[in-house]
Structure 1
């Protein structure tokens, strides 16, 4: 696999060309990736997500698909956001531009995502039961509950282009 992100300050996750998926750990065994036995695999369902984010049922929960572009992606807990590196000269450049990008973003409509706790971000082609062997994966320690999820593409500098997926914890009902 070609590496676009440099090793450095944060863990970057890359795919083999398709979408990334954030699956709640409690339902990882139910995500079949590209190995599904039915006509359309879970990976096929993830590829059908139109736009930057989408939700797919997995077991008795829901996974978050990061679609649109197979960009190197990191989760920045201080910002509550997945940052997708579409274009920039360096990791330092990407990370330095995130605060301004979050402020300048023109967000798409929010979706509501309920999670039971931590999620694992990895290439949607991998089955959840084998995600521990995926070359790139990162555990995102989310608190159980509902989150508002919104996405935006931002160009915070002349040579910098980011896709952002922002998570905001919603009050429990």
Structure 2
């Protein structure tokens, strides 16, 4: 049986200190990151999200901001969740706690995110057109509208994580 902790199976994305953002591939060129001549850059807008998740307009779409703290983040497609590593002795310990965390999560406010297909998760300070030059993760989402909600969880005495769940809604 394949487990997430096997080398090359799970990729963790980190930021330089600001929020991570998931931008649909179709609008990646419209995300300017910390660049730009405006008084408030796209990165500044992402930093203003005062919640575990939030949506920002990008081109003719929307990006999902993973706010709260700049935790290392991975995507678990089998659960449809971004897992944000707050504290754990090992990746194996963190991932072992995901099922119980999902079962007991006290979910926060839900937002609805319409995506046209795959999204790219990366540090919001980077311009979308330059994601190939930095850590990024392509998440192959099916086009549609997703209910997105987040929860802080502590599945073990030394294990804390944030879950960001994506549930595809029926038409």
Q: TM-score, normalised by structure 1?
A: 0.94
- Mind listing any 5+ residue stretches in structure 2 that lack a counterpart? 1-6
Q: In 2, Cα distance between the equivalents of 1:170 and 1:42?
A: 28
- Runs of 4+, deviation exceeding 2 Å: none
Shift of 1:51: 1.2
1:41 matched to which residue of 2? 41
Report the 3-state secondary structure (helix = DSSP H, G, I; strand = E; otherwise coil) of the residue aligned with 2:39.
coil
Give the root-mean-square deviation of aligned CA atoms. 1.2
Q: In 1, Cα distance between the equivalents of 2:21 and 2:77?
A: 17
* Correspondences of 1:2-151 after superposition (within 5 Å): 9-134=9-134, 136-151=135-150
Write out per-residue CA displacement over residues 22-76 of structure 1, whole angstroms, 9 at most, x where no aligned residue. 0000000000000022000000000000010000000000000001100000000
2:161 matched to which residue of 1? 162
Write out per-residue CA displacement over residues 90-142 of structure 1, whole angstroms, 9 at most, x where no aligned residue. 000111110000011000021000000000000000000111111x1100000
Report the 3-state secondary structure (helix = DSSP H, G, I; strand = E; otherwise coil) of the residue aligned with 2:106.
coil
Distance change in 2, residues 1:60/1:28 (3 Å): same
Instruction: Please tell me whether the aligned partners of residues 8 and 91 of structure 1 are also in contact (alpha carbons under 8 angstroms).
Output: no
Q: TM-score, normalised by structure 2?
A: 0.95
